[in-house]
Amino acid sequence: MIQSSENFIDAKLNYGLCIKRIRYNFRLFYVDENGLGVLHHAVANNDAKMLQILIDCGQLDLFERNAAGQSPLLFAARLAHPDLECVSILVKAIDDVRKRRHDDVLSEHFDDVEANRRELLKMLPLFDEADAKYALTDALGRNVVHYAALYNAPHLISYFTACGANVNLIDLNGDAPIHLAARDANVEALVALIRNSCDINIRDGSDRTAYEVADSQGHTVVCGVLLIAKNSPGTEFMDRIKDFSAISNLV
């Protein structure tokens, strides 16, 4: 009888633990009506601590897409929070995943990956996956720099380009980030793109340069900035465009 009671208690405890796990997993893998998972929600709330905890659990897909086809990293670029905490956490996590995958491939051919890493990377660089970590695009073919340009976030443009993001990627509409910045008169983003060596002569799906896009919208300041960039070498351009409030005086 005592044994039966102990078994009954154990069964109840195990049942309780199972229910907790089910509830935990349900919350962990919850996706709302907009396709936003828990990583997206942590990013939306700019909750870096929660984002790190969720990533550390090791059960979530860093590349999960919402209804608009945006991974948490793309979603973070779209929200353009003023700090880089969530973005940098996601970038590091994606880098770690890619490094592990890379090591798995290398380990099939080399005995000691860690000891020979420097020489191996010369032959098989980490970025040989078509820039996988930043070339992630949404349903419109836009990457993180497109969103930084759309939401006038120069700090994100500088950060992502320093990480190796493609500043000249053309989306499915035929737009590079500079076309979006020019169209919406996002001057700070435009200057950041130019400072990070984007192609100011790249043409959109309608065969227009960023200057022509801005001109069609009547954005005279944007046109002026693009003319300065075209006629001034890099360092001179940076010297002349330091104070955004004085840009109109340069046009």
Min mean pLDDT across 34-38, 67-71, 187-191, 247-251 is at 247-251
Give the pLDDT of residue 25: 47
Sole residue written with tokens 């192609």? 199
Q: What is the mean pLDDT of residues 183-203?
A: 95
Q: How far apart are CA 217 and CA 8, in angstroms?
A: 75
Chain position carrying tokens 């996601």: 90
Domains 36-139 and 160-251 equal at CATH topology level: yes
To the nearest whole percent, how much of the chain has pLDDT over 70? Answer: 66
> Quick one: tokens of 204?
């959109």
Assigned CATH for 36-139: 1.25.40
Task: Average the pLDDT over 75-81 and give the result.
Answer: 92
User: Is the predicted pLDDT of residue 107 greater than 60, yes or no?
Assistant: no
In the block, tokens 């942590």 appear at: 42
Residue 243's region, left for phi above 0, alpha for psi from -120 to 50, else beta, is: beta
Instruction: Report domain extents, the chain.
Output: 1-30, 36-139, 160-251
- The interaxial angle of helices 154-163 and 187-195, nearest 10 deg, is 20
Tokens of 66: 């919402």
Identify the CATH homologous superfamily for domain 160-251: Ankyrin repeat-containing domain (1.25.40.20)
Q: Which of 90, 239, 61 is nearest to 156 (CA)?
A: 90
pTM here is 0.72
Residue located via tokens 């929070």? 81
Most confidently predicted of 30-39, 66-75, 215-224: 215-224
**Contact 160/148 with Cβ under 8 angstroms?**
yes
Better pLDDT: 217 or 34: 217
